[in-house]
Amino acid sequence: MKNTKELRTWLDDLQLDHPLVVAGPCSAETEEQVLNIAHQLKDSDVNYFRAGIWKPRTRPGNFEGVGALGLKWLQKVKAETGMKTATEVANANHVKLALEHDIDLLWIGARSTVSPFIVQEIADALAGTDKIVLVKNPVNPDLALWLGGIERLYTANIKNLGVIHRGFSTYDKSKYRNNPEWQIAIELQNRFPDLPLICDPSHITGNREMIFDVSQTALDLNFDGLMIETHFDPDNAWSDAAQQVTPKALVKIMDDLRIRKVTDTEADYRAELNNLRAQINVADDQLIEILGKRMQVSDKIGALKKQKNVAVLQSKRWNEILGNMILEGKSRGLSEEFVLRMFKAIHQESINHQEKILKG
């Protein structure tokens, strides 16, 4: 992608004084449900009304969407509220039907992004259209795969593009449904600063109580907008009930998060400072998570040493680690003094963990 500035055209043309908002139910369940939610959102800052029509589920037998019938409901949303519409597409037939029903924004889901064959099929079906197409990050944390999807669409002469950060699957247990791995989105933003970047806090958190905090982090990191799932009766939604908020709650979130555009020098400084501080917060969270995992391994080593009656302190091993870390730190611009202090503290904490196990 050479002239990436053209990718921002569709977003700039909206001339928003707040972040872009794409909102609506996870799944279109009934015509009444779709229209009820849409009418509650029509006078809000929502720019696109979203609803899942085809729902790829992890296991068969779960609700997999109402199919093409739901596209007619989205047409009614546009006719009755004036809101533009959005839905997910996963193959060429979905694209054909969405275009026939004049859906304004299409997105490619995380399960589809992992397959270059699927993305290429969708790109071929969309070639020559002026629809807005957003690509969710792949299920696995693979930046090259994510960018590859965008490049396939760009090569098909689709220029109204953007990406959606919805977090990444992980085997480790976490407070998130999908770990945000913010550093991947930050790296994407650094490489292509003109590529519109939307955050999907619903799928990152899997928990409506965490939507606000993740949304605020995204905006602090200069994301361009949010995709949030909303339902008038979230607890009884047919899919992803725990992560949907009511329209009233969504409006409150948007009001609290609103960030207006400013141009004065002091405001620019503050905005940039907030962005850099947000990046530090992300890095700090990762440090704590990694240190926690390291201590869990130390606990296992302590248990093994107790079983074999081995001393906690292993000087040769410790000196090897310290020497390697000093060299690695220097290669990353860290002073020897800092690396020594940091790893001595980590080593002491590991010893404390293991001694506690041996005495237990």
pLDDT of residue 128: 83
pLDDT tens across the length of the chain (360 residues): 666 778 889 999 999 888 999 999 999 999 999 999 999 999 999 999 999 999 776 667 778 889 999 999 999 999 999 999 999 999 999 999 999 999 999 999 999 999 999 999 999 999 988 999 999 999 999 999 999 999 999 999 999 999 999 999 987 778 999 999 999 999 999 899 999 999 999 999 999 999 999 999 999 899 999 999 999 999 999 999 999 999 999 999 999 987 755 456 777 787 788 888 888 998 999 899 999 999 999 999 989 988 888 888 888 888 888 889 999 999 999 998 899 889 888 988 998 998 888 887
Confidence (pLDDT) at 264: 60
Asked whether the beta carbons of 49 and 85 are under 8 A apart, the reply is: yes
Domains of the chain: 4-261 (3.20.20.70), 268-359 (1.20.59.10)
For residue 115, the model assigns a pLDDT of 96
Nearest residue to 55 via CA among 45, 66, 46? 66
Give the DSSP per-residue string, 36-69: HHHHHHTTSS--EEE-BSS---SSTTS----TTH
- C-alpha 319/C-alpha 245 separation (Å) is 53
pLDDT of residue 73: 98
Predicted pLDDT of residue 2: 67
Helix (H) or strand (E) holding 87: strand 84-88
Whole-Å CA distances, 110 to 35, 58, 89, 341: 27, 12, 11, 42
Whole-model pTM? Answer: 0.79
Residue 145 CB neighbours (<10 A): 17
Find the length of the chain. 360
8 Å CB contact between 314 and 308: no
User: Quick one: CA torsion of 224, 165, 127, 7, rounded to 10 degrees?
Assistant: 30
> Which distant-in-sequence residues (6+ apart) come within 8 Å of 62 by Cβ?
239
